[in-house]
């Protein structure tokens, strides 16, 4: 929202030329501020609202938040391989964004690097983890122990990144009480009680669409604050609940669009190859024709 400040009417100032209006840039995804991101104070005891990290988090655009998570994954891998410093060019290439966008993203953290040296990997990891609220664990519940639910429950990468799976739920009587990934499956009717008792903050819905809303209501009743929804349905939730929707069919359809567009471009280039003076944009991996976003990074990347 743009706030318009009051100004004197031009007619009330005779003899003065009218002021030229300033052009207002249209806000985009990289300029729109997010809601406050959870941030933990350095001492772990003070109010989060007083911490510098919390203040900075309020001003970070949502598109930049998504990229920070990618940087964290890349940096963690570099740290495991023994890297102590990284240049913006190295990190931007590994993360799939251009170096200017990366430097702007990292400036939200108050981190600008050192000329000729770059960024300290361990410092960046710590700063990003604090901004993303990863200085404490977020307990996860998975609802719907079908093929996807089994895979999520057995995935060993969640606990190491601060997201231990602490509860599993399903309706199938043959699954109730059976351990999956070391956890016994509970009945869906027990979602509110179990989530409240175990302090679950993130719920993952991997059920058929017909059951998703009912499951969502139970998770909210159990105190869950965030929901990751794999069911192809729009959930109705209170305003304070954050929902992220993952629709693999939509992602594949978007990729299909890019494949079809490349095929059309290739056919057009072949048709114009013999015409003098005809130049068509090439798919050289540097522009928008390879599925890249406006920042030079890919808009759509499907990762395992």
SS3 string, 18-37, reads CCCCCCCCCCCCCCCECCCC
How far apart (Å, rounded) are the C-alpha atoms in residues 91 and 78?
10
pLDDT tens digits for range 71-123: 988 998 898 888 888 888 899 999 999 888 888 888 888 766 777 778 888 88
Q: Model confidence over 118-176: pLDDT tens digits? A: 888 888 888 888 888 777 778 999 999 999 999 999 988 787 777 899 999 999 999 99
Residue 149 among known ligand-binding residues? yes
Any known ligand binding at 147?
Answer: yes
The answer to whether 129 touches 164, Cβ cutoff 8 Å, is no
82 belongs to an annotated ligand binding site: no
Is residue 134 marked as binding?
no
CATH assignment, 62-130: 1.10.10.10
The angle that helices 62-80 and 88-95 make with each other, rounded to 10 degrees, is 110
Query: Are 226 and 249 contacting, i.e. CB atoms less than 8 angstroms apart?
Result: no
Q: Is residue 148 annotated as involved in ligand binding?
A: yes
248 belongs to an annotated ligand binding site: no
What is 140-249's CATH number?
3.40.50.720
Where are the domains positioned within the chain?
Answer: 62-130, 140-249
Q: Which of 182, 177, 183, 185 is nearest to 146 (CA)?
A: 185
Model confidence, pTM: 0.58
What pairs with residue 119 in β-bridges?
A: 86
């Amino acid at each position: 929202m743009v706030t318009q400040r009051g100004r004197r009417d031009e007619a009330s100032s005779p003899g003065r030329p009218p002021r030229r209006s300033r052009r207002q840039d249209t806000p985009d995804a990289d300029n729109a501020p997010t809601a406050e991101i959870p941030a933990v104070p350095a001492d772990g005891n003070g109010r989060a609202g007083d911490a510098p990290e919390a203040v900075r988090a309020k001003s970070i655009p949502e598109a930049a938040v998504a990229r920070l998570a990618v940087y964290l994954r890349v940096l963690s891998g570099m740290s495991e391989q023994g890297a102590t410093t990284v240049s913006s060019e190295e990190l931007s290439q590994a993360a799939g964004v251009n170096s200017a966008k990366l430097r702007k993203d990292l400036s939200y953290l108050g981190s600008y690097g050192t000329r000729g040296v770059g960024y300290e990997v361990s410092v960046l990891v710590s700063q990003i983890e604090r901004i993303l609220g990863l200085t404490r664990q977020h307990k996860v519940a998975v609802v719907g122990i079908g093929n996807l639910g089994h895979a999520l429950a057995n995935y060993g990468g969640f606990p190491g990144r601060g997201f231990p799976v602490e509860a599993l739920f399903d309706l199938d009587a043959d699954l109730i009480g059976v351990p999956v990934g070391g956890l016994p499956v509970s009945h869906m009717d027990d979602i509110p009680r179990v989530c409240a008792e175990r302090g679950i903050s993130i719920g993952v819905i991997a059920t058929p669409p017909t059951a998703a809303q009912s499951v969502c209501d139970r998770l909210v009743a159990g105190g869950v604050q965030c929901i990751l929804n794999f069911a192809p349905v729009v959930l109705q939730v209170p305003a304070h609940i954050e929902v992220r929707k993952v629709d693999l069919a939509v992602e594949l359809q978007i990729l299909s669009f890019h494949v079809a567009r490349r095929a059309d471009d290739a056919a057009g280039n072949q048709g114009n190859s013999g015409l003098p003076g005809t130049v068509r944009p090439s798919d050289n991996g540097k522009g928008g024709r390879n599925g890249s976003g406006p920042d030079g990074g890919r808009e759509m990347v499907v990762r395992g």
